[in-house]
Structures are given as C-alpha cells and as structure tokens.
Amino acid sequence: MEASEAPSTAIDVAVIGGGPAGSAVSAFLARLGRRVALIEKSRHPRFHVGESLLPSNLPILERLGVSEAVAAIGRYKPGAEFVSPHHEQRQVFPFADALNPSPDHAYNVTRAEFDELLLRHAAAAPGVDLWEGYTATGAERLPDGWRLTLRGENAPAEIRARFLIDASGRDGFFAKVESVRQRSPRHNSAAIFAHFRDVSSDAWAADGSIAIYWFEHGWIWMIPLRNGLTSVGAVSMPDYLKTRKGPLDAFFIETLKMCPKAWTVLQNASRVSPVRGAGNYAYTAKKAFGDGYLLLGDAYTFLDPIFSSGIYFAMQSAERAAEAVNVVLDRPELAGRLFSRYQRELDNAMARLTWFIYRFNSPILRNLFMKPRNFFAIRKAVVSILAGDVYRGGTLSLRLAVFKTIFHLSRLANLRTDREDRRRREVLPSISLPDNEIADRL
C-alpha cells in the first residue's frame, strides 16, 4: 500500500506485526466486520524459528479456513519423544494417548511458508489493508484512537485507528514504548539452532514426532520438516553459553557433541542453513492491555520453547482478543472487564506450562517423564499438556494436581540432589539482544 492510500479514522484496529498472532487476529476481526490495518515490517517469506505446531492449533486453523493449506506444507506430527542420557529407553508420548485425543496429531512447518500463508490469507480478507514493508516507529494516543507513524521502504506514512493491537512478537514495539516488559525472574535461557539435511531416522521412534534430548547444560530439539530437512537447536542457560570462545557454528557442533545420543544421529547430517541464535527467552509484560491497546502473542509474553506452545498461544489468544476487541469498539465501558478476563484466562493457561518449564531440567522431573505412571490417568494428563490442552479444567486439573504432588514428594525424598540442581540452575544476568544481533554475541 502506498502512503497516499493511508486510511484515516475509517480504520477500526491497527495491528502491528504480521506473524501468526497478527495475521490471525486481523482475519478474525475482518470476519466480524471490522476494518483492519495490518502492519508488517518484513517482506514475506522470511525466516523464523518455532516450527512445531500442537494438536490444539488445528481447530483454530480450521476456523480460519487454512487447515488444508497448512496440511499441504506441513510434516505430520503424531507426538513428542524424550531422550535422557541417564535412561536406556526413550519415552514416546503419542497425542492419541491424551485425555481428549481430538485432534490426535499436529504438523511441523517451515515458518517462512506457514507465516506467509497466514499473512496472505489475512490480507485477502475483506476489510484488511496490508502494510507490508512498513515499520511502526511511533504511536500517539488521541481522544478518539491512535495515530501511528510508519517508516516505509520508499516513504513515511501515517495511520489513524480506533484501537491498537501489538502483535510485534519479540520486538515488543508497544512493550518497549511503555517500558512494561520484564524478564522472567525464575527462568532465563538462550538457543542456537540451524537446519540440517539427512538426519538419521533413528532420531525418532515415531516418524514425524518432535524429539527432545537432554544433555548436561539443557536440551536439544530435533523437529523433522518436509523434504528431508530437520530443525535442530540447543537451549541452554547463559553460564554455559558464555564459555564460547570460537565461531558460533563451531560452538554449536561442540554443544551437540556433548549429547552422545543426539550426536549419533547427527554426525552424518549436513548443515544447510546459517547457525542462528536467540536469547532472553523467557519474559512477560506487566499487563496485557491498557487504554485503547492490547498486547498479543510474543509481544505480551514468551516461554521457553520446550513444549512448542508459542504459535498455539499466539493464535488462541488472537481469536479470543478479536472477540473482546469487537465488543469493546462498540461498548468501551466493557474494556476493563473483558480484557481482564482475557489476560486471566491466558495467564492461567500459561501457568500450567510454566510449572513444567521451570522444572524441566531438574533430575526429578526428568525421571518422572522417563518413567511415567498412568495411575489415575496421570500420563494421559501429561500428554494432554504436550498437546496444548491447557485451557480445560475438570479432571485434567485434578490429575495435574496429583502429578505435582508426586513431584514434590519425590523432591522431598531427594533433597540433596534437588538442592544441588537448584543451585546449579540459578538465573544469571540475562542476554537481552534482538534476534538479529545475538548470534554474533553468543
């Protein structure tokens, strides 16, 4: 869109960011009859990490009308697998074993393809104006909405809208403007990753599953994609990452070799992409909403990627946000109540995952994962969490409470091991650089 075409107060909602959250909320808002300006700084397709979807994503994709297109570009994903250096057998968690196994699968996707598919779908919706190649540089609150200034590839531009949604991901446009973002006080990690070709099929027991390999300093992911590609990444705490002395790509290979079970299936594979890095993984904003604005997806909060929850939370919250914003545009007096509920439900759902994330590298939780018991259907409850079933209460909540009780009893029985592990995993000062800079600093 050219600057001369800039809509004025006819725009209901300006959405900053054309990733899964921004594209989804724009499409849902347009379906509700709203006029949307979708602002995306990059030209798609563009690289992005986070290639594994959850079964809970699929109903949202169905409601968006893109499920068949996603299946066409995706690799069928039947479950998740965990491999420990201290256990002989790997543990396989098929999504079909969940308490509510519908859907019983997901997909792994190349994010450049997936994100572009969602962006073009949103742009094709009546009522959505796509500003691709424009960066939001300022936001001014007006009595009747917002004035956004944009920097385009050829010229600056300006948009006026009644409501603002920040879906700018880790960039956190509005979170930075308002200084509302804070890193997690309990969890801080960084990742290095790349794409490989011809990873041995022995990396997975079930074709298409994501595999997680523990090692001394964290964990390694292996996500099989289409056309023989595999996304491989290592997530570690800053104390280990600060030990790097040479090039990042050499350090990455050294890290992978620290996990013999992972290196066995990688040693004959070929790296086909640059090694990239991302740091300061866990953060959240103090609040998900304010006067005339809402934070969405990674712009609000980001978790360690161990459970592949990023895209699901982005799209699930996008659908819920669209419904709330649609009401608030006509009845602004309901904003506090509706947005408070939106944040409360999102925070409660995320809390279910953060409980596991904070403890994932502990020997006690690792043992419970590698030797799961299905007493009172606890194993099924864990599989449900792995599938993204994090909003439901009822029997799932009860079974998760039993699992947590078992964890705490095991910790009491192994106090010395637990204390040593907690001291080792103390959070050190965070690495807080943008994705495009941190690869050079890790």
Domains along the chain? 3-74+109-184+283-349 (3.50.50.60), 190-278 (3.30.9.100)
The tens digit of pLDDT for each residue in 257-285 reads 999 999 999 999 999 999 998 765 567 78
Band (174; pLDDT cuts 50, 70, 90): confident
Residue 305 pLDDT grade (very low, low, confident, very high; cuts 50, 70, 90): confident
Kind and range of the H or E element at 192? strand 190-197
What's the pLDDT tens digit per position in 101-116?
889 999 999 999 999 9
Does the structure show a pLDDT above 70 at 158?
Answer: yes
Percentage of the chain with pLDDT > 90?
70
- Which strand (E) or helix (H) includes residue 13? strand 11-16
For residue range 69-99, what is the model confidence (pLDDT) as tens digits? 999 999 999 999 999 999 999 999 999 999 9
Question: 159-163, 335-339, 407-411: lowest mean pLDDT where?
Answer: 407-411
Highest mean pLDDT among 43-57, 216-230, 296-310: 216-230
Q: Is the pLDDT of residue 351 over 80?
A: yes
Cβ count within 10 A of residue 18 = 29
Give the separation between CA 399 and CA 274, rounded to whole angstroms.
43
Q: What pLDDT score was predicted for residue 416? A: 64
181 pLDDT more than 80 = no
| 420 has a pLDDT exceeding 70 | no
Alpha-carbon separation of residue 148 from 29, 102, 371 (angstroms): 19, 42, 54
User: Is the pLDDT assigned to residue 130 strictly greater than 60?
Assistant: yes
Up-side HSE of residue 92: CA atoms within 13 Å toward CB?
A: 13
The label of the residue with tokens 């759902």 reads 349
In 221-231, which positions are buried (b, 16+ CB within 10 angstroms) versus exposed (e)? bbbbbeeebbb
Mean pLDDT of the chain: 88
Whether 179 shows a pLDDT value over 60: the answer reads no
Residue matched to tokens 């909405």: 145
Q: At what angle do helices 378-386 and 335-359 cross, to 10 degrees?
A: 120
Q: Bridge partners of 368?
A: none
Residue 428 is predicted with a pLDDT of: 41
Q: What tokens were used for 377?
A: 């259907």
* The pLDDT value given to residue 313: 93
Between CA 223 and CA 210 the distance in angstroms is 5
CB proximity list for 291: less than 8 A, separation 6 or greater: 141
Residue 393: predicted pLDDT: 85
pLDDT digits (tens, 9 = 90+) for 313-349: 999 999 999 999 999 999 999 999 999 999 999 999 9
- Structure-block tokens of residue 238: 């800053």
